[in-house]
Structures are given as structure tokens and as C-alpha cells.
Chain A
Amino acid sequence: MSKPITTEPIFGKMRKAYIILSIIVSAALLQGCEKVITLDFNDAEPKLVVEAIISDGPGPYTVQLNESAGFYESNVFPAREGATVRIMDDLGNEETLIEVSPGIYQTINLQGELGRTYTLLIESEDEIYTATSTMPSVVVPVDTLVIEYIPENLFQDEGLYCYAYATDPAGIANYYRYNMFVNGAPYITYPENSTDPLDGKEDDNFYLSDDKYFDGNQIDIEFPNLLLIGDTVDIELHNLDKGTYDYYRTLVEAIYGGGVAPANPISNFGDSALGYFGAISIQSRQMVVE
């Protein structure tokens, strides 16, 4: 089997090439240097942050409500308690979620279905927030997982890597997010010469792609995480609608620095709340590295 090179969007690769070019140029002649500075930010009033997913997998589904914080505050985000949270579908079914712990609201009976359009309605502190998302009607399963040995090269250390294969449905636009879990948790990368959990960096699992370059073809998904014999690998393939894909795409920009005109991600709450409500279909496959 040939080495797949196509999992990330093509221009991601170009961007990577460009970043490497910048690094070389900087190192060679610019003596670029970094310094932590203190800026006077115009911190805004806290805003509601919604994190809500409904899928075709079994419930319960969780809606998490938090508030935003100021830039120089700790990463402690207050839970938004006491909200009324409901999910409705396009057939008129409706369920009110129960707050199981502060800011965490869960469904009891609701089962997500392919092709349905769902609306999330939140009433909190005299404001009403709504968002709508449609679960794609096509299921795209993970066909196979392959573990392959890769010798040392420019981009990778030598070792075992996981490749997932799926078949993109032809003729329609598909949008994907892939998640990798190793031994039941996101993969953790340690800096060189350290295994201290505090130094570890959790994989954000933002592997996103549309099918612009491979509509109707077999998809080769290459995960950059080095695996060990005995690891259990879970690969999830999320099939998203365009709105959800655009949200994730712009969320990545907001997390990693926003480009020319940084802005909040494109959300189905509009500007009323931060975060997103996504209806997605999830397929997964598991294997043990041998």
C-alpha cells in the first residue's frame, strides 16, 4: 500500500511548507526573538459559552454552559447554572434537559437520527439563545485501520503510525472531522526528554477536511501520533454538515491565532453566544497495535 499523503487539506501542506520557509528564513538571517509582554486589553463582559453535540450514537447527549473570562484571568470558566435547556427536532419532538452538575445538562430519552434537523433552545438570565443543526443523512464508515512502520524522515520520527481508510460518497459535498483516542484518551505528546504529565500536550483532535480534492475516492487518513505495541487505538470519523465544519475550521483559527482579521468562529448562535450546537454522525473503529 502506498504511503498516503492526502489527509490534511492540500493547502494545509502548502501552509506548512510556507511556515517551514519562514522558520528557515528567520533562523538564517532574522534572529527572530520572542518576549512576553503585558497588554492593556479591553476585556468585555462575560458571555455565555455553549458546547452541545447531538449524534446518531446512543445518548445521553450533553449540553455544557459556561461563561467566558478575561484574558489575564485563570482558565477557570464559571458554569452557567439554572438554565432551561431544550432540544427539538423537525418532527415536533421536544425534550427538556436536566442539569446533572453545575452547568452540565443532559438528555434522558432523546435518540439522534440521521437527516433530522435539531434546534437547541436555552433560556438563561432573561435571554433566549437558539441554534439549529442538521445531522448528515449519509453514514461514512471507517473501512479499515492499518498500522504501518515509517522510517525516520523530515516530518516524522521513526515508528508505528495509524492510517484509517474510508470511502467518500461521490457527487455530494462531505465534511469530516477525525478523532484519535489512544488507550481511551486523547493522545499526549511530551516534549523531548520528559514524561511529566504536566509537560504533556493533549492532541486537540482537530483533524478536519472536506472532500474537495477526493470526492468519491477512498480517503487515506494519516495520524501523526507515534504508537507503541499494545496501545488500543480508537478512530472516530465525524460526518458534519457545512455549518459545523465551518465552525470547527474557524474555531481552530481562534485557538491558534486569528490571521489578518481575528474574529470569533462562525456559530449557529450568531453573535448571541459563543460556542456551537452540532448534530453529527459518528462512526468509529478500534484496534490494538501488535
Chain B
Amino acid sequence: MRDSMSPNLVYKQHRWVYAFLQMEQSNGKRSSPIALFKYLCSKIKRFMLRILILFISFFIANLSFAQEKFTLSGYIQDAVDGEELIGSTVFFKELASGGSANVYGFYSVTVPSGTYAVEFRFLGYETLSKTIILDKSQKLNIELTPSSTTLTEVVVSSKVQDANVRSTQMSVNTLETKDLNAIPVILGEKDVIKTIQLLPGIKSSEGGGGFFVRGGSADQNLILLDEAPVYNASHLLGFFSVFNSDAIKDLTIYKGHIPAEYGGRASSVLDIKMNDGNSKRTNVSAGIGLISSRATIEGPIVKGKGSWIISGRRTYLDLFLKLSNNADINKSQLYFYDLNAKANYRIGKNDRIFLSGYFGRDKFGFSDVFGFDWGNLTGTARWNHLFSDKLFLNSTFLVSDYNYNVEIFGDEGQDNGFNITSSIRDYSLKEDFSYYLNPSNTIKFGANGIYHTFVPGEFVPGAQSGLNELILQEKYAWETAAYVSDDISFSDKVKASAGLRYSLFSQIGPGDIKTYDADGDIASSTRYIKGDVVKTYGGLEPRLGLTFLLEKESSIKASYGRNRQYLHLISNSTTGTPIDLWIPSSNNVKPQIADQIALGYFRNFKENAYETSLEIYYKDMKNQVDYRTGAELVFNEDVESQLLFGKGWSYGAELYVKKNIGDLTGWVSYTWAKTERKFDGVDYGEKYAASWDRRHDLSIVGIYQLNKKWTLSGAFVYRTGNAITYPIGKYEVDDQVAFRYGKRNADRLPDYHRLDLGATKQIKNTDRYESSLSFSLYNAYGRKNAWIINFREDPDDASKTQAVKVSLFTFVPSITYSIKFK
């Protein structure tokens, strides 16, 4: 009784597929892509409602067909190091269907009783076949062995070979550490944030820590490290990210159709998972690079019961400062470090706990004049519990903190310095259930609550400084959400994933809550006591994805999703700085809302050796935040009065071609995109390009396995210029020449292109240890790309002004030595 749909339902569903395809054809003639998008938007919304009704009827139909069925469930792990194989699949040959392992490696498939040939698969691993007589529900833990060739080290893998075509998820990319290791990066510092920028739809600028997904601003990305949000993911002015790739298992970025279990940001989710540690034996590995060294130690707790891992890295740029003769310079500090730690332990058959933490900090000290440090702390405690072989629960408690601290020391013994601190801290509790109803239907539901504390700034001077203490008001908020989602296959050809999330946000006291007039001056102030609710926002966030399999290796997908965002990042830089400020939605600041609709065609060639996709999207963004001219954003009690609110929209097309198998692997991604905004307070309400708007992005990534010893790699990027405001003239006041500006972002930076090359040589691979040497050359042909453009008086002729292009990074070579003791 595999296909439990009634004939009537099958008929209806086919009619809708037909109608949908018709709709696409009939609109192909429309001249404007926006008009088409808008039309599609309205159609999809109606379509979605119908689908929901279908879901309900289908669900009921499912229940009524409850026959004699049994469940096969368990965990799927790597046979060598015991790491959970997230997304590995269980395939029942006779049924031509199955399931896949969740993020904890747990799978559960419920099918009618019988004898089945069951295959457990994961790319880069040997497929394991078992004959299973399923006459009662049973638990089966599986270990898969990695394929013997060294090819797996460089394979750009996807979880399941044709998952990109078959799954209901679109607008998603996954990378594993293996991918990260092969791609050349600056100074050999493998970096997830830099690597995802080579994927379609993700933009950033050189040297910036932030990234922009499908036209969303940098604060619209939810960055999760083992479920804990990371509020500032940059080290050292954004040239490096806080994620030490040695401690990372894999990452997934959702650019659209964000699953309902995620929420809180308008544009994307970057979900990063830390390594669990080797549960088979103790391992030590280390790497020595030009600017940093790293070390990892991992091992079992009780063999087979659990494992632990500690991984750290530290830069040593400042050690060179010590060589200076200047007493001020050799007393200075300039470094950052990261420490990741994780442990997991299995208690009995049905329970497992995970503890993970991250602590990282940048330290910058200049002699005895000042000190400046900033960093994140995250901690996650999770408890997996199986209520039955079909119902899985994960409970999470997490804490996340970002803070910075500035200290001006003043004169020795004089007590005339001062200290500035600022922080944001979250405590959060989450409950996430998965219910594996049958192979074609998985239901997820859950709820979470976050308590946010914002400390915008505390200025504490020494007694002799002549300055007054200044404490900006702390802000508090509750953010809660509940969701349900259902992944369902209507037939071999049609699948859907429908989710509904309801989120609620309350700004709470204590505090003096102000309102502001049109000029940004204070209009009123009301005192709220502790626990008083100042303002509450909330609403539904529907998420829907549909997949229509056309033939064996191709599909059409459509999705719609709404995301609400209650926190906003205030920054006076496009690239992000340590003193950027997160503020909650409040009586003055409404939540940002993004609606995105996307349509994609997915096709694989040559038995999934090549994956290709073309996606188009339209995103509408409400309550976007920009700043008044001359806004004072730093240490301002009334920072909300400096903000302007408006709307934004973006649309684009993303082409992605990826080669998975062979000596040469890699991908080509091309993005065409446009992002515009419209604010009453900017250029009299005329639309303007967002500062991260650019038209074309091309990335080509290639990894070539030359022989058993050598792996070569290359990455080429070409981007047209970001929007920027150039002067439209100059004038003289106060004996100074000032530049005159016109409309915002009316100009474009010059085009950007760059080639990076890498090579890795395996030196030794014995039973005791393996070692390798990696070389890289960043910006191999020395292109002088514009980082910023400055305008200034001509130093040779004071009667003239000139434009000066500042470039970074030409020909940066690096070498890294890595060793792993087994």
C-alpha cells in the first residue's frame, strides 16, 4: 500500500501540475521579468493555499491507511572516526523509496512488513547493502567505510547524488570541510565565509566580513554555529572569519525557501556544524601557516559511547612586532584566537547529549596607550531523545554573547583613562520534534524562546579624567516562535515541503521609551518598569517548496517564503566593524519582512556527474533600515532617531554548473542580480541602488587531482562594480575644498577580477601519521582591484583634485604544513 492516494487526489494534483506549467508558458511572452514575477507571486500564494488543503486531506488519507507497518531506525556513522553522516540515505530497493539521516545521523523509515534489500549510501563512502526481514520494528546502527581512493579528499560532494534534483529544497548550497580544504584562499587561512562567496547569489566585497544574499543586507543572514547565533563573524577587520575550518564538519546556506525551523533573519541562514570528534580513537592534528597555527585533539569518551574534540588556532602577527626596537611597538598586541570544544555521549539506547562551545577574541593593544578587544562566546547543550522509533526530539539550551571592550589607559598612576564596553547576549531554549510517519512523509514541529539583552554602551572614566560616566540604557526583548513543517511525496513525480512558522517579539522594560518626530528630535518619553511590555510584533511566516520531477535527472522547483526579522544591525561601514551595534525592534523600529519567490530548473547529466541549475527569484523587503545624512550612530542614546525606514526589492538569476566526479572537479556559478531601495528620506523618495548592488558575478572553481601526491586548484572571480556615490563637483568653504555629492549610489566601482592558485602535496601517509604541504598564491596575476576610492587634493598641484584607487592583496603567497597523527 505504497501509494495511498485516492484516485481523486491524484487527478487533482496532476491537474495543478499541468496548470502550473501552463501558467509558466503563457507568461513566458511577458516582456518584463518583474511583471512575470509579480504574476507568479500572486498565483503561487493561491496555489499554496490549495496545497495546504491538499496536505490536510492527504494527511488524513494517510492515517486511514494505517496498515501493518514497521519501522527501521538507527544511526549512520563513519566507520573510521565515528562522525555522524548527516544526510546519508536509506534506500529500500523493492519500494524504490526510503529516507535520510538527520543532523544527528538518525534515520527512521516506516514501511509495510516484508523482506527488503536495503542500501545505506553516502557519497564518498562504500554503499552498504543489507537484507532485512522487517516483521517487527527494529533498530539498526550502520557504519559506512570511506571509499579507498584519495579522490574523496577533493571531491566536491553533494550528500546524495541526485538530491539537488529530487529534494524539495531549492536555493541551498552545502559545503563540507573537504571542499574548503581544496580551494585556495588568502594566506592559506581556510575560511567558510570566503568560500561561500564563490557560490551563486552570495556577494561580498574584498576585505569585508559581511556577505549579502540575494539582495538582502549583511544583517539579514542568520549565522548559526551548532544552533547558536554568531553576532559578529569577523576577525581582524573582516579579513578572516571566526570559523576555524578544522573544527567544522559542514555548512549549509539557505538563500531562499528557508525551512520553517529557522527564523529571525530576512534573507538567509548559514548553518555551520562543528565536528563531533573521533569516537574510535584519539587523534592529534596540527597545521603551521604563515600567520597562524592550529591544533586539534579528539578522541572517544567511552569507546562507541561518545567522543570529544578541542580545536584551537591563534595568529602570531604580533610576534613580529616584538622584534621592533621601538618600545611602544614591541609592547603592542595584535592577534586573534579561536577555541572550539565539543563532546557527546550516548546514555542508553534512546538518549544522547551534546555539549559544544566556541570562544574567540581579537586583541589589539597599542603600548600602554590603549587596548581594544572583541569576540564571541557561544555555548550549546543538546539532548536527543527518542520517544519511539518514529518520534525524535532534540532539546537545546544555548547562550550567545558578543562584546567589545575599549580601554584608554591614561597616565600611569593618574587614574585619568576610561573604559567602554558594549554587548549583546542571548539565552535560548528550543524544542524540535521530528515525526517519521512513512517514507514519503516526515513532519517536523517545535517551538523556541530567546531572551535578548542589549548593552549598547557603557562609558566609565577614571576619577581624574574630567569626564562623566555615561551608561546607555540597556534594552531587553523576548523572541518566541512555533513551527510545523511537512515533507511529503504525493507521487514519484511530485513532492512538497510546506511549513508554517509563527513568531512573536516583545520589547520589554525597564527603560525610558522615547518617540521621535520627523526631524529625529525627541517627541515624548515614557518610563516602563521591569517586565512591562513596550511593544509586541508578530505574524505568520509561511514557507512552501514544490518539486516536479520531469524525467530521471531533471526537475522544476518553485518556492515561496516569508521571513520576519526583529533585530537590526547599525553600522557605519559596509564591511562591518567590531563596534557595530545590534538593536531590537521597538516602538520606533518595525520588524523587517522579506517575501521571496523563486523558480528553478535542475538537471543532472551523465549519472549525476554534472549538476546544473538555473534559479530565478524576486524578493520584496519591507521596513528596511538606512541612516539619515550625517547620522550619529556610535554611542548615541537616541540612535533610533538616526534611522530611516523604507522598502527594498531585488531580483536575479543564478546559473550553477558543478562537476562532482573525476580527476577534475569544481563549479562555475554566474549571478545576474539587481537590488534597489526606496526611502522617503533619501533623494526625495526616488529609488536608488543598494550599496551592495552589482549586476554580474562569475566564479569558476577547479580542483585537479594530478596524481596520488599532488592536488592542484584554482579559483577565478569576475564581478562588475558595486554601487557607490562619487562626487559631482567641488566647492570651497572655510578655506577647504569640499566635495559636492548628488544622488546616492549613482555611480559604479570599476570591475573586479582575480585568480587564486593552490597546490597541495601529500608528503607522507603511513599508519602512524599523514602530512602535507599546501601552497597558495592569491591574486596570481596581480590585478590591482579597487578596494576603496579616495578623493583628495593633488599633492603635486594644490589647485587640482584627484581620485585615488586603493588596492589590497596583489600576489600574496603562502605555505602551510599540516600533520595528523593517527
**Residues in A lying within 8 Å of B, measured CB to CB:** 2-6, 10-11, 13-14, 17-18, 20-22, 24-26, 28-39, 41-44, 46-47, 49, 51, 66-72, 74-77, 153-155, 186, 198, 202, 204-206, 212-220, 246, 249-251, 253-255, 257-266, 274-276
Chain B residues near A74: list those with CB within 8 A: 799-800
A214 and B738 within 8 A (CB): no
B465 and A5 within 8 A (CB): yes
A217 and B467 within 8 A (CB): yes
Chain B residues near A274: list those with CB within 8 A: 731, 733, 738, 740
Sort A-B residue pairs by CB-CB distance and give the 9 closest, nearest first.
Answer: A250-B630, A68-B731, A44-B728, A49-B731, A263-B629, A254-B738, A37-B805, A74-B799, A75-B799
- Known A41-B726, A51-B733; judge A32-B806 contact (CB<8 A): yes
Chain B residues near A263: list those with CB within 8 A: 629-630, 725, 741, 744
Chain B residues near A43: list those with CB within 8 A: 728-729
Instruction: Decide if B560 is an interface residue (CB 8 Å cutoff).
Output: no
Q: Taking CB as reference atom, which chain A residue is nearest B811?
A: A31
Q: Taking CB as reference atom, which chain A residue is nearest B726?
A: A41
A66 and B466 within 8 A (CB): no
From B465, B745, B787, B812, name the one whose CB has the most chain A CB atoms within 10 angstroms.
B465
CB within 8 A of B738: which of A3, A13, A251?
Answer: A251
Chain B residues near A39: list those with CB within 8 A: 726, 747, 789, 803
Q: Taking CB as reference atom, which chain B residue is nearest A67?
A: B731
Nearest-CB distance from A35 to chain B (Å)? 5
Chain A residues near B141: list those with CB within 8 A: none
- Known A213-B468, A275-B731; judge A261-B627 contact (CB<8 A): yes
CB within 8 A of B732: which of A22, A28, A36, A66?
Answer: A66
From A46, A69, A202, A206, name the one whose CB has the most chain B CB atoms within 10 angstroms.
A69
Chain A residues near B417: list those with CB within 8 A: 5
How many B residues, CB 8 Å from partner?
89
B729 and A36 within 8 A (CB): no
Chain A residues near B761: list those with CB within 8 A: none
A49 and B732 within 8 A (CB): yes
Chain A residues near B791: list those with CB within 8 A: 71, 257
Q: Taking CB as reference atom, which chain B residue is nearest A18?
A: B577
Complex-state Cα separation, A18 to B369, whole angstroms: 13
CB within 8 A of B741: which of A70, A264, A275?
Answer: A264
A6 and B736 within 8 A (CB): no
Complex-state Cα separation, A282 to B406, whole angstroms: 35
Nearest-CB distance from A121 to chain B (Å)? 19
B805 and A262 within 8 A (CB): no
Instruction: Decide if B784 is an interface residue (CB 8 Å cutoff).
Output: yes
Instruction: Decide if B328 is an interface residue (CB 8 Å cutoff).
Output: yes
CB within 8 A of B420: which of A10, A69, A205?
Answer: A10
B466 and A218 within 8 A (CB): yes
From A3, A49, A261, name the one whose CB has the most chain B CB atoms within 10 angstroms.
A261
Instruction: Decide if B635 is an interface residue (CB 8 Å cutoff).
Output: yes
15 contacts between A and B (CB under 8 A): A10-B459, A17-B372, A29-B812, A31-B810, A35-B784, A38-B803, A39-B803, A41-B726, A41-B729, A42-B742, A69-B731, A250-B630, A258-B739, A261-B725, A275-B733
Instruction: Decide if B58 is an interface residue (CB 8 Å cutoff).
Output: no
CB within 8 A of A70: which of B468, B729, B803?
Answer: B729
Complex-state Cα separation, A206 to B733, whole angstroms: 12
A217 and B468 within 8 A (CB): yes
Complex-state Cα separation, A76 to B658, whole angstroms: 58
Chain B residues near A205: list those with CB within 8 A: 734
A68 and B691 within 8 A (CB): no
Q: Taking CB as reference atom, which chain B residue is nearest A202?
A: B735
Interface residues as binary, B767-811 with A (CB distance below 8 Å gives 1, 0 otherwise): 000000000000000001011011110000011111111111111
Complex-state Cα separation, A275 to B738, whole angstroms: 10
Nearest-CB distance from B374 to chain A (Å)? 11
- Known A42-B742, A213-B468; judge A25-B237 contact (CB<8 A): yes
- Known A37-B804, A49-B732, A253-B630; judge A17-B406 contact (CB<8 A): yes
A215 and B468 within 8 A (CB): yes
Interface residues as binary, B339-378 with A (CB distance below 8 Å gives 1, 0 otherwise): 0000000000000000000000000101101101000000
Chain B residues near A76: list those with CB within 8 A: 799
Instruction: Decide if B765 is an interface residue (CB 8 Å cutoff).
Output: no
Chain B residues near A31: list those with CB within 8 A: 808-812
With A10-B418, A214-B466, A217-B466 known, 14 other A-B pairs at CB within 8 A are: A10-B459, A18-B577, A25-B236, A25-B334, A32-B807, A36-B802, A49-B733, A70-B729, A75-B737, A77-B731, A186-B735, A258-B739, A262-B725, A265-B630
Instruction: Decide if B187 is an interface residue (CB 8 Å cutoff).
Output: yes
Chain A residues near B805: list those with CB within 8 A: 34-37
A213 and B372 within 8 A (CB): no
CB within 8 A of B806: which of A34, A49, A51?
Answer: A34
A266 and B237 within 8 A (CB): no
Q: Taking CB as reference atom, which chain A residue is nearest B810?
A: A31
B328 and A2 within 8 A (CB): no
B320 and A17 within 8 A (CB): no
Nearest-CB distance from B718 to chain A (Å)? 19
Q: Taking CB as reference atom, which chain B residue is nearest A44?
A: B728
Q: Taking CB as reference atom, which chain B residue is nearest A21?
A: B364
Instruction: Decide if B470 is an interface residue (CB 8 Å cutoff).
Output: yes
Q: Taking CB as reference atom, which chain A residue is nearest B743?
A: A42
- Known A2-B464, A68-B730, A212-B470; judge A47-B740 contact (CB<8 A): yes
Q: Taking CB as reference atom, which chain B residue is nearest A205?
A: B734
A260 and B798 within 8 A (CB): no
A6 and B466 within 8 A (CB): yes
Nearest-CB distance from A7 to chain B (Å)? 10
Chain B residues near A70: list those with CB within 8 A: 729-730
CB within 8 A of B470: which of A37, A49, A213, A220?
Answer: A213
B291 and A29 within 8 A (CB): yes
Nearest-CB distance from B162 to chain A (Å)? 43
Instruction: Decide if B97 is an interface residue (CB 8 Å cutoff).
Output: no
Instruction: Decide if B727 is an interface residue (CB 8 Å cutoff).
Output: yes
Chain A residues near B745: list those with CB within 8 A: 261
B577 and A20 within 8 A (CB): no
Complex-state Cα separation, A250 to B631, whole angstroms: 9
